[in-house]
């Protein structure tokens, strides 16, 4: 389609939006002014011996000063951000954590003008050498790459002051996230913001703080506005915490109208407008009817009809948005836009939005009631509809009424079968659009039995403690979807290298051969991995005894929760099931000293943990069977107040997983 569903949805209540904000993707050569001088170091900064924001902190920033300017240059709108950080290191831990600086950015942005220096306690200044800055790609997601500029601060020791600055230039955006919290406490975070201002541009710049209380915007010279946040504590991650931006301090900068309408009125109007803006692209043509009839021929139930249409859309139409499509950015740019479902069916290729439009049109042709549905991403933020802005509802899926209730589908996600969504969209609030009465529904959450990891290992244990054998792991549901998305654009060699590295992170002495990776791009079969393994020193030998952990797949796995206290909500991505079966043939001349059983555990309605150790009749073989089901009742969120209970349960599981067996040498006959 000429405009994606997401852009249409965002544009509904942004009537003054400049087309440059939607269409521009280039970066002009116009450079913003860069500070050429370092600010003077004050006596208070030189004498500071401990954190004034968080007592006991290993380092503290005096200030983080950021100048953000939206401007036009070279025919494009761009955002230029200049960052300047000054901090002090108090001890060796601070030296370790703050000596290396990493500046992440996407392939749509550019980092320049990096400068850094270390001021030693005796006043000596050591400048960063220009050739000491390195660049690498750390994440690839679709057409977007996340890169990082990194450098090591020179001559760092406790008592040093470190300061560095850089400039980032990229396409201007309707919305920008301004970070407030870092990994160390900051005395003062200051943003100087210069919004885009030109004749005919009617939208005002507004900002919404999250988890912080900045000062009000104050006018500065040159068209800038200033806001400050004082005494910002360090941000610390917790395992299974909510999305980072749900708990971290940050500011959303946006160009939008301030409607001032109550939430129910706002979202009702928004849902109506999205429907009216998108209805033309869902037009059902004779060609759509013909193909829908062919695809659903012989189907006897509504569920079967929808599943067939869903499978057709995600398997027969090439998704040009997918990173595994084989298309380059230049090739994508040359593709002709599809204006409707008929266009997509003629070429049998299109964007993810195009595929969803075909699905909607075919379902309509098959007699179903269909609506565009605005969905949020709980991997990014836990949506709250009291925030009356479409920013957190940027994806549009398809709602189909089945049995009197709305079900949400996303056939553009190739590896997600009908009846599921990716975990980031499951269990979220969804706005089903409508010309008269838009409604909020809750997206389905798949059961723990759907997302299953089945691990099988068959090994031989040698007298010297070496474990050798074969492993197979099969992933179903969300784990399968996630691994396919991770590996589908990698070469076979890259996949194998990554699998081996992952094994060796847990088992450093492991020798891995005969790696097989199955069904990476098969939309119907589960992702699976197999390999042969040899691990010297897996078991420990002492005198005439050998000690080993039969729960092979949990060997060297750290406890899930270690802290004694918890600040944030506990969040699991989805309910899950783990099933392990490990068979170990014992070395000649040895026998089990005892086959005592580790403890099982009931988690009530949430699930349970079961473990058994079995031995063969001749005593030559030990079998360890383990199963864990969590979220059986659909529980994936738990309050921080219940942390002690959750931690106690997983500590008990970890203890049982670590259960050791002892072999003793048989007496000579």
Please check whether residues 406 and 532 belong to one and the same domain. no
Same domain for 317 and 240, yes or no, is no
Buried b (16+ CB within 10 A) or exposed e, 159-174: bbbbbbbbbbbbbbbb
Residue 593 counted as domain residue: yes
CATH of the domain at 538: 2.60.120.1130
| Same domain as 418, residue 520 | no
**Residue 7, domain member (yes or no):** no
Please report whether residue 661 resides in a domain: yes
pLDDT value at residue 596? 84
Task: Say how many C-beta atoms besides its own lie within 10 A of residue 141's C-beta.
Answer: 12
Residue 5 lies in a domain: no
Any idea what the CATH number is for the domain that residue 137 is in? 2.60.40.3140
Tell whether 640 and 492 lie within a shared domain.
yes
CA distance to 200, 257, 531, per residue, from 203 (Å) = 9, 6, 58
Does 387 reside within a domain?
Answer: yes
136 in the same domain as 105:
yes
User: What pLDDT is attached to residue 470?
Assistant: 98
Claim to verify: residue 375 and residue 491 sit in the same structural domain: no
Do residues 283 and 239 both lie within one domain? Answer: no
Task: Tell me: do 498 and 560 sit in the same domain.
Answer: yes
Is residue 21 in some structural domain? no
| Other CB atoms within 10 A of residue 255 CB | 23
Please identify, among 256, 272, 300, the residue that sits at the C-terminal boundary of a domain. 256
* Residues linked to residue 103 through DSSP beta bridges, in sequence order: 149
Q: What pLDDT, on a 0 to 100 scale, did the predictor assign at position 227?
A: 96
Domain that holds residue 91: 31-256
pLDDT for 90: 98
User: What are residue 402's DSSP bridge partners?
Assistant: 405
Give the CATH number of the domain where residue 323 resides: 3.10.620.30
Give the residues of the chain that fall short of pLDDT 70. Answer: 1-36, 73-75, 140-144, 198-203, 669
129, 193: one domain: yes
pLDDT of residue 138: 80
Q: Determine the straight-line distance between the first and last CA of the chain, rounded to whole angstroms.
A: 82
- If asked whether residues 201 and 273 sit together in one domain, one would say no
- Residue 8 has a pLDDT of 46
Q: What is the pLDDT of residue 128?
A: 97
**Residues sharing a CB contact under 8 Å with residue 333, sequence separation 6 or more, in sequence order:** none
Residue 71 domain-assigned (yes or no): yes
pLDDT at 557: 96
Pairing of strands 318-319, 349-350: parallel
Is the residue at 12 inside a domain? no
Our count of domains for the chain comes to 3
Assess contact for 178 and 68: CB atoms under 8 A.
yes
Domain-terminating residue out of 256, 290, 312: 256
Are 235 and 340 in the same domain?
A: no
Looking at the structure, tell me whether residues 408 and 323 fall in a common domain.
Answer: yes
Final residue before a domain boundary, out of 256, 280, 300: 256
Q: What would the pLDDT profile of 147-169 be if each residue is shown by its tens digit?
A: 999 999 999 999 999 999 999 99
């Amino acid at each position: 389609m000429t405009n994606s569903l997401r852009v249409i949805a965002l544009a509904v209540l942004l009537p003054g939006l400049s087309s440059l904000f939607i269409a521009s993707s280039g970066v002009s050569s116009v450079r913003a002014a860069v500070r050429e001088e370092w600010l003077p170091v004050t006596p208070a900064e030189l004498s500071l011996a401990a954190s004034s924001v968080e007592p006991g902190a290993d380092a503290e920033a005096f200030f983080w000063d950021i100048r953000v300017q939206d401007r036009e240059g070279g025919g494009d709108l761009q955002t230029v951000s200049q960052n300047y950080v000054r901090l002090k290191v108090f001890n060796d831990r601070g030296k370790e954590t703050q000596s290396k600086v990493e500046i992440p950015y996407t392939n749509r942005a550019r980092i320049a003008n990096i400068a850094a220096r270390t001021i030693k306690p005796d006043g000596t200044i050591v400048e960063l050498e220009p050739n000491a800055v390195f660049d690498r790609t750390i994440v690839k997601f679709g057409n977007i790459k996340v890169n990082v500029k990194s450098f090591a601060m020179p001559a760092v020791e406790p008592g040093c002051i470190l300061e560095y600055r850089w400039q980032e230039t990229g396409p201007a955006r309707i919305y920008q996230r301004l970070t407030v919290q870092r990994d160390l406490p900051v005395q003062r975070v200051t943003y100087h913001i210069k919004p885009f201002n030109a004749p005919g541009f009617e939208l005002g710049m507004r900002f919404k703080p999250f988890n912080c209380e900045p000062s009000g915007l104050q006018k500065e010279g040159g068209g800038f506005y200033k806001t400050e946040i004082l005494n910002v504590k360090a941000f610390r991650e917790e395992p299974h915490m909510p999305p980072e931006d749900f708990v971290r301090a940050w500011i959303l900068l946006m160009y939008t109208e301030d409607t001032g309408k109550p939430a129910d009125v706002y979202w009702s109007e928004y849902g109506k407008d999205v429907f009216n803006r998108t209805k033309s692209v869902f037009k059902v043509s004779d060609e759509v009817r013909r193909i829908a009839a062919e695809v659903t021929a012989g189907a006897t139930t509504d569920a079967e009809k929808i599943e067939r249409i869903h499978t057709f859309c995600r398997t027969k139409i090439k998704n040009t948005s997918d990173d595994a499509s084989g298309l380059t950015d230049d090739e994508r740019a040359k593709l002709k836009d599809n204006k409707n479902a008929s266009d997509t069916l003629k070429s049998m290729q299109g964007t993810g939005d195009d595929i969803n439009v075909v699905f909607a049109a075919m379902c309509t042709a098959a007699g179903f009631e269909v609506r565009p549905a605005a969905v949020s991403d709980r991997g990014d933020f836990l949506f709250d509809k009291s925030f009356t802005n479409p920013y957190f509802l940027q994806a549009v899926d398809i709602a189909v009424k089945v049995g009197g209730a709305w079900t949400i589908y996303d056939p553009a996600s190739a590896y997600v079968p009908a009846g599921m969504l990716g975990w980031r969209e499951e269990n979220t609030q969804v706005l089903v659009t409508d010309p008269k009465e838009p409604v909020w529904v809750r997206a389905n959450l798949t059961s723990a039995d759907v997302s299953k990891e089945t691990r099988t290992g068959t090994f031989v244990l040698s007298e010297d403690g070496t474990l050798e054998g074969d492993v197979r792991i099969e992933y179903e549901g969300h784990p399968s979807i996630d691994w396919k998305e991770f590996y589908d654009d990698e070469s076979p060699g890259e996949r194998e290298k990554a699998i081996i590295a992952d094994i060796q992170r847990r088992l450093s002495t492991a020798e891995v051969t005969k790696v097989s990776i199955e069904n990476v791009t098969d939309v119907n079969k589960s992702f699976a991995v197999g390999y042969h393994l040899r691990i010297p020193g897996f078991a420990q030998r002492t005198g005439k005894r050998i000690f080993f952990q039969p729960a092979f797949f949990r060997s060297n796995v750290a406890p899930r929760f270690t802290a004694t206290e918890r600040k944030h909500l506990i969040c699991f991505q989805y309910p899950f099931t783990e099933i392990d079966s490990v068979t170990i043939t014992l070395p000649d001349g040895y026998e089990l000293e005892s086959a005592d059983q580790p403890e099982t555990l009931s988690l009530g309605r949430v699930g349970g943990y079961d473990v058994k150790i079995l031995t063969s009749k001749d005593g030559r073989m030990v079998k360890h069977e383990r199963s864990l089901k969590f979220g059986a009742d659909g529980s994936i969120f738990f309050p921080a107040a219940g942390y002690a209970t959750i931690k106690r349960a997983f500590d008990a599981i970890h203890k049982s997983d670590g259960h050791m067996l002892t072999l003793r040498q048989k007496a000579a006959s």
